[in-house]
Amino acid sequence: MPITTQTGRFDTEATALLALESSGATCSVAACLPSGQWLLATDSGQNNHAAALTLLVQEVLEGLSLKVADLGAIAVSIGPGSYTGLRIGLSAAKGLSLGAGIPILPIPSLRAIALGIRKEAEMAQTAHRDERGLLAPKLPSAATLSPQNAFYLPLIDARRLECYAQLYNADVAPLGDPFPLILPEWLPSVPAGANVHYGGSGAAKAESYFVQHGWVKSPYTEASALEVLQLARTDYGRISFPDPAYLEPLYLKEFQASQPKPSVLDGLVGRVPAGL
């Protein structure tokens, strides 16, 4: 099984956390120490989640000399995404949670993709500045590189011309609920001058509809456990932990064309942050 690893360090300290991501074709696991040091392990094989997750968990825990009992919480990508992958990931999280009495933090996979899209946009802007000979920070600052008119649109392929989607603002806060859409029956409407970046496994099928608006297609295609881990660090201590016994994947059943849904962006102009 081809496993690749990456390591790094967050710029702030926090509790030790473990994150599982299995909503897409590949799966990954990440963990961090209280010091901020993190380790990411990814199985680059396709749809091998059941066999890979246990080995990936072992890889990151041993790599950081962590035990499950050391963790403050176990974060898991809760969906939407692959039905089978989501069930496998949540089952693994529940097994670890129940065995050690560790709470679970569910993280929406669309939110993780939105964060990944933002990070790619920040790195692209930093690289552009470097090419012009200007100084740029080693770690891009979200405050300077993510303008308030930025929007992030993660799209998860749901087969045919369907995608699961959700719009996020510059702070990766959702604007409405996640929903299934059919292209091109639904096209996003955002304020004039908005800087829109879209990505995810459904981005390729949406490109021909979005290119006319000048929106930027991100190279970020699938949620990673590293983004799940980063979001868990943000949520830890700020939200209540759900009861693992009642925690279920967010599937988002297929969109029914005979029952059209209103766009989550209806009236968006009145809800966007001031200054747009």
DSSP string, 31-43: EE-TTSEEEEEEE
Is 68:38 a contact under the CB 8 Å cutoff? no
Q: Mutual orientation of helices 49-63 and 83-100 as an angle, nearest 10°?
A: 40
- Check residue 253 and give its pLDDT: 64
- Dump pLDDT digits (tens) for 34-70: 999 999 999 987 778 999 999 999 999 999 999 999 9
Q: Which two tokens stand for residue 32?
A: 């961090």
Q: HSE (CB half, 13 Å, CA atoms) of 95? A: 10
Q: Give the residue-averaged pLDDT of 79-102.
A: 96
- Check residue 160 and give its pLDDT: 84
Q: What percentage of the chain carries pLDDT values higher than 70?
A: 82
- Check residue 2 and give its pLDDT: 83
- Please count the other Cβ atoms lying within 10 Å of the Cβ belonging to residue 2: 9
**pLDDT reading at 7 higher than 90:** yes
- Dump pLDDT digits (tens) for 233-244: 999 999 999 999
CA-closest candidate to residue 252, choices 142, 166, 178, 191: 178
- Residue 124 has what DSSP assignment? H
Q: Does 272 or 196 have the greater pLDDT score?
A: 196
Q: Which two tokens stand for residue 72?
A: 């403050």
**pLDDT reading at 131 higher than 70:** no
**pLDDT reading at 232 higher than 80:** yes
Domain ranges of the chain: 3-108+224-246, 110-222+255-270
CA-closest candidate to residue 16, choices 98, 100, 77, 85: 100
- Check residue 251 and give its pLDDT: 93
Residue whose entry in the numeric block shows the structure tokens 């005979």: 258
Q: What is the pTM of this model?
A: 0.85
**pLDDT reading at 261 higher than 90:** no
Is 91:247 a contact under the CB 8 Å cutoff? no
**CATH assignment of 3-108+224-246, given 3.30.420.40, 3.40.1110.10, 3.40.50.2000, 3.20.20.10?**
3.30.420.40
- Dump pLDDT digits (tens) for 170-227: 999 999 899 888 887 776 678 877 889 999 999 999 999 888 888 999 999 999 999 9
Q: Does 189 or 22 have the greater pLDDT score?
A: 22
Q: Which two tokens stand for residue 212?
A: 């006319």
Is 193:173 a contact under the CB 8 Å cutoff? no
Least confident of 19-33, 101-115, 215-229, 252-266: 252-266
* CA pair distance 155, 163, nearest whole angstrom: 6
- Check residue 267 and give its pLDDT: 40
Cβ contacts of 168 within 8 Å, gap of 6 or more:
111, 114, 151, 152, 153, 154, 174, 175
- Check residue 47 and give its pLDDT: 74
Answer whether the bond into residue 184 is a cis peptide, omega within 30°.
Answer: yes
